[in-house]
Structure 1
Amino acid sequence: MTTALRRLRNYIDGEFRDAADGRTTEVVNPATGEAYAAAPLSGAADVDAAMAAAEAAFPAWRDLIPAERQKVLLKIADRFEERAEELIAAESENCGKPVALVRSEEIPPMVDQIRFFAGAARMLEGRSAGEYMAGFTSIIRREPVGVCAQVAPWNYPMMMAVWKFAPALAAGNTVVIKPSDTTPASTVLIADIIGSVLDELGHSRGVFNVICGDRETGRLMVEHKIPAMASITGSVRAGMQVAESASKDLKRVHLELGGKAPVVVFEDTDIPKAVEDISVAGYFNAGQDCTAATRVLVHESIHDEFVAALAKAASETKTGAVDDEDVLYGPLNNANQLKQVKGFIERLPAHAKIEAGGEQVGDKGYFFAPTVVSGLKQDDEIVQHEVFGPVITVQSFSDEKQAVEWANGVEYALASSVWTKDHARAMRMSRSLDFGCVWINTHIPLVAEMPHGGFKKSGYGKDLSAYGFDDYTRIKHVMTSLDG
């Protein structure tokens, strides 16, 4: 490891620490393909220390009245705003994301989401107390689950960290969170922000801990005896491994595992408007979004016109440097992801046609051109499996029944959209589509008040909303005799 690399550290019990055995891993800026930092490659001793710190901090944090936890979260949100430029710089370097888009599309919603959960802390709900057996009163207590082991992904390192720690802390849990080994920088900065707030307000800094490392580190976290809950946003394979590991001691599990969102476009759609919105929703963040609009199903009567318009939009979509305000997206996150996206294109069947893109851009970094592929069949690999890149596929359907069958005919079930001016059709489709979210004449907007989460191999549990908050609580029945 060269001395020129910036040194990142774990954050355990209020202290920044190297890995106990001194191991590190290089962190690469995907816009350049060059290493810029060294992060701890944490092992069992580091995980033990972080879990012990979170366990020790839990009783006092759990026993705070909700208003006190709310104060902490509101202060964290304020500090995110105050240190926004630091967060933007860290995330841009982490991911190669355009600076202007991190500033406009990530900081405001993250701050809003933290403030939402600050309010949710004071809105714990349960059924009213009552007598369901003569001489006894029953009440419901909603309590935190305990220490939460959380693993965040590399596509939105900052925002996904917020989605995990904000509801967990609001509900009274303590946290050990691991960022992806390719994107630890912004999470380490978040630790500095949260730690300073906890310190200022007189709370144990062991409430929030960050462990850097790889898949083995994550496995050690999930299999550790202290956490009561494991939460991961990641691949289906990773989610299945977490569920298997957590089952050994029956930990609660919260999984958000990717998607293959169908975009069903009917013949009465406003084609220019739909193409504009769908291309943005498909290419934003280089398509590295589990809700991305990457699988278009278009009615056969407008197929050719729609494909031509979509290919034109792709050719006008720009990827490039982080300081270029005209780009829609930056690079793919890492060399392996670039290889994966290239592989899908290289393995396209003979009947597929690349209408736009299909190649790497530039001679450094992991940039890939906005791509449109048509002529595809339902059982093609690129239709059935998540590409997680700036690639939009197009299929042609004949009627509503076939559209529903093909839309639902994948193993993922996270998000979907329907494009039509027919209200009754939109309502039928929203009922028939087997996905956790159905957008109508739009695709990808999210709000803190509404849940995000899927079915099937997209996992279970909800992020955001009161439903996401409830996932970090447990329910206790208390019954008392009225005889004294």
Structure 2
Amino acid sequence: MSDRILRNVIGGESVESATDTYLDLIDPATEEVYGRAPVSTAAEIDAAYAAASSAFRHWGRTTPAERQLALFRLADAMAERADEFADLESQDTGKPRATLVADEIDQSVDQLRFFAGAARDLNGRSAGEYLAGHTSYVRREPIGVIGQVTPWNYPLNMAVWKIAPAIAAGNTVVLKPSDTTPLATVRLAELAAEILPAGVLNVVMGDRTTGAALLQHPTPQMVAITGSVRAGMEVAKAASSDLKRVHLELGGKAPAIVFPDADPQTVAEGLVLAAYFNAGQDCTAATRVIVHESVHDEVVAALVARAATHAVTGGPREEGVFYGPLNNAAQLERVSGIVDRLPAHAEIVAGGARQGDRGYFFPATIVTGMRQEDEAVQEEIFGPVLTVQTFRTEEEALALANGVRYALASSVWTSDHGRAMRFSRDLDFGCVWINTHIPFVSDMPHGGFKHSGYGKDLSHYGFEDYTRLKHVMSYIG
């Protein structure tokens, strides 16, 4: 057992917790304990919010140029320590270490730089005389103190998605990382403490109860979470009693609709990447292949072959590994349970059971013969499991794709431009990819509809979510 004990970052200082309760940090690849994180006390949450409130009085009035420079410096500091952050992220998650810098650390740096630029590009209606004798203009202002909670699937990326737009807009933050993956987020806060004024970014650790206390605290004017639908509903309900603004990025159940004019090998290459990257622990992962019945067998054969050669799971330092273990024992139990409960009409054509007896590894799994009402079709699995359904007509394909409660991401695979445009209009998802699935850029919004939540991450739209509008009118005679 490691003697590494993590500390909260409050008011620009690394602070040892006064708690009696610590959580073991468990390596998902070995199931060994490598450290402990505190379950922060109510007093520590109070202290973090007090620090954020005090910092906001100054930070909220800094110029966009000052905020931009600070975020650029933070991005540069992260880039200089890319290997350190990759080591921390790999330890927490079990992700393949060889590709982490390119896959995730570089993206976090880019996202910090994007929002640094956005800080100096706030837009609004131009000043003018909309009422005779009066001049009106619009101020776009920071909201205040923001409470945030991030998940375990992309710990560092999700922390950056949350803090970068909030801080760029002039807000201050109290953030709780997932209880199983706090390392990189705490290190980011320690680094930020050397660059940002004390209290602009505060990180407190803990469990689900800690997160609820942080989000229900009376101080924040806005709360933001990336997490499950259940968690999002609880946050929205609690926030309503205090009329807090709410930003929710929740689950997904992304369909990939495959038409006969799509090349099966190209489809398999794209969907194996999109289904199994990060062990399928991605809200936008391709999870439901909806394929025209005339090419079902050919597409499934291509998927199975591609998964066998490219979707290899193993430890973070093993060669030739595409994805690592599931994050924790509870997630392994969830994925295994859904697969074990598959109905009799379903057929597992690849994978299907835990790999090995040490670590939370689950192989690339493909299940055919699925029906719309099946649990594995309707519920987010959040693991390396791909289900396959068939359709005959465009109308049926669209009904199957939209026939779930989630609405985050989707894709359509076809060489027919008109069909692609129709589906981009009619698919009820926050993102529609055409002949690809899962790429992200900092410049474009990420967020869904229905039970996938509301509000946008990334892009200028995500930046604007962390601002408020004020109308100023002056009598000019």
2:153 alignment partner in structure 1? 155
2:72 alignment partner in structure 1? 74
Q: In structure 2, what is the Cα distance between the partners aligned to 1:77 and 1:191?
A: 12
The answer to whether the 8 Å contact 1:413/1:457 transfers is yes
The answer to whether the 8 Å contact 1:331/1:366 transfers is yes
2:50 maps to which of 49, 52, 62: 52
How far the C-alpha of 1:18 sits from its partner, in A, is 2.5
How many aligned positions are there? 476
Is 1:330 matched with 2:343? no
2:392 alignment partner in structure 1? 398
Q: In structure 1, what is the Cα distance between the partners aligned to 2:306 and 2:364?
A: 9
Cα deviation 1:350-383 (Å, max 9, x = unaligned): 0000000001112211000100000000110000
Q: In structure 2, what is the Cα distance between the partners aligned to 1:126 and 1:470?
A: 11
How far the C-alpha of 1:102 sits from its partner, in A, is 1.1
Whichever residue aligns with residue 410 of structure 1, its letter is: V
Q: In structure 1, what is the Cα distance between the partners aligned to 2:191 and 2:30?
A: 28
Is 1:239 matched with 2:232? yes
Equivalent residues in 2 for 1:81-480 (5 A)? 81-198=79-196, 204-316=197-309, 317-480=311-474
Q: In structure 2, what is the Cα distance between the partners aligned to 1:97 and 1:213?
A: 23
Task: Give the aligned CA root-mean-square deviation in angstroms.
Answer: 0.8
How far the C-alpha of 1:324 sits from its partner, in A, is 2.3
Q: In structure 1, what is the Cα distance between the partners aligned to 2:293 and 2:198?
A: 59
- Which piece of structure 1 moves more, 430-439 or 97-106? 97-106
The answer to whether the 8 Å contact 2:430/2:448 transfers is yes
Whichever residue aligns with residue 253 of structure 1, its letter is: V
Whichever residue aligns with residue 173 of structure 2, its letter is: V
Cα deviation 1:138-166 (Å, max 9, x = unaligned): 10000000000000000000000000000
1:481 alignment partner in structure 2? 475
The answer to whether the 8 Å contact 2:19/2:38 transfers is no
The answer to whether the 8 Å contact 1:314/1:357 transfers is no
1:201 alignment partner in structure 2? none
Q: In structure 2, what is the Cα distance between the partners aligned to 1:19 and 1:248?
A: 30
How far the C-alpha of 1:197 sits from its partner, in A, is 1.5
Q: In structure 1, what is the Cα distance between the partners aligned to 2:256 and 2:401?
A: 8
Q: In structure 1, what is the Cα distance between the partners aligned to 2:324 and 2:459?
A: 29
Q: In structure 2, what is the Cα distance between the partners aligned to 1:322 and 1:340?
A: 22
Whichever residue aligns with residue 211 of structure 1, its letter is: V
Q: In structure 2, what is the Cα distance between the partners aligned to 1:352 and 1:309?
A: 19
How far the C-alpha of 1:43 sits from its partner, in A, is 2.1
Q: In structure 1, what is the Cα distance between the partners aligned to 2:213 and 2:288?
A: 36
How far the C-alpha of 1:241 sits from its partner, in A, is 0.4
How far the C-alpha of 1:325 sits from its partner, in A, is 3.7
Large movers: runs of 4+ above 4 Å: none
Whichever residue aligns with residue 300 of structure 1, its letter is: E
How far the C-alpha of 1:126 sits from its partner, in A, is 0.5
The 3-state SS of whatever aligns with 1:323 is coil
Whichever residue aligns with residue 67 of structure 1, its letter is: A
Q: In structure 2, what is the Cα distance between the partners aligned to 1:100 and 1:240?
A: 37
2:27 alignment partner in structure 1? 29
Q: In structure 2, what is the Cα distance between the partners aligned to 1:143 and 1:104?
A: 35
Cα deviation 1:196-235 (Å, max 9, x = unaligned): 122xxxxx22100001001111111111111010000000
The 3-state SS of whatever aligns with 2:411 is strand
Q: In structure 2, what is the Cα distance between the partners aligned to 1:345 and 1:21?
A: 39
1:13 alignment partner in structure 2? 11
Whichever residue aligns with residue 428 of structure 1, its letter is: R
Q: In structure 1, what is the Cα distance between the partners aligned to 2:69 and 2:417?
A: 44
Q: In structure 2, what is the Cα distance between the partners aligned to 1:27 and 1:351?
A: 40
Q: In structure 2, what is the Cα distance between the partners aligned to 1:231 and 1:123?
A: 23
Q: In structure 1, what is the Cα distance between the partners aligned to 2:226 and 2:341?
A: 28
The answer to whether the 8 Å contact 1:91/1:185 transfers is yes
Is 1:40 matched with 2:34? no
The 3-state SS of whatever aligns with 2:199 is helix
The 3-state SS of whatever aligns with 2:289 is strand
Q: In structure 2, what is the Cα distance between the partners aligned to 1:19 and 1:380?
A: 46
The answer to whether the 8 Å contact 1:20/1:45 transfers is no
Q: In structure 1, what is the Cα distance between the partners aligned to 2:315 and 2:25?
A: 19
Q: In structure 1, what is the Cα distance between the partners aligned to 2:21 and 2:186?
A: 17
Cα deviation 1:380-406 (Å, max 9, x = unaligned): 000000000000000011110000000
How far the C-alpha of 1:28 sits from its partner, in A, is 0.7
Whichever residue aligns with residue 205 of structure 1, its letter is: A
Q: In structure 2, what is the Cα distance between the partners aligned to 1:456 and 1:271?
A: 31
The 3-state SS of whatever aligns with 1:221 is helix
How far the C-alpha of 1:123 sits from its partner, in A, is 0.4
How far the C-alpha of 1:193 sits from its partner, in A, is 1.1
Q: Which runs of 5+ in 2 are unaligned?
A: none
How far the C-alpha of 1:19 sits from its partner, in A, is 2.3
The 3-state SS of whatever aligns with 1:291 is coil
The TM-score, its normalising length taken from structure 1, stands at 0.97
Q: In structure 1, what is the Cα distance between the partners aligned to 2:44 and 2:5?
A: 17
The answer to whether the 8 Å contact 1:349/1:380 transfers is yes
Q: In structure 2, what is the Cα distance between the partners aligned to 1:429 and 1:50?
A: 46
Q: Which runs of 5+ in 1 are unaligned?
A: 199-203
The 3-state SS of whatever aligns with 1:367 is coil
Q: In structure 1, what is the Cα distance between the partners aligned to 2:234 and 2:18?
A: 26
The 3-state SS of whatever aligns with 1:446 is coil
The answer to whether the 8 Å contact 1:230/1:252 transfers is yes
How far the C-alpha of 1:315 sits from its partner, in A, is 1.9
How far the C-alpha of 1:22 sits from its partner, in A, is 3.6
The 3-state SS of whatever aligns with 1:206 is coil
The TM-score, its normalising length taken from structure 2, stands at 0.99
Whichever residue aligns with residue 241 of structure 2, its letter is: K
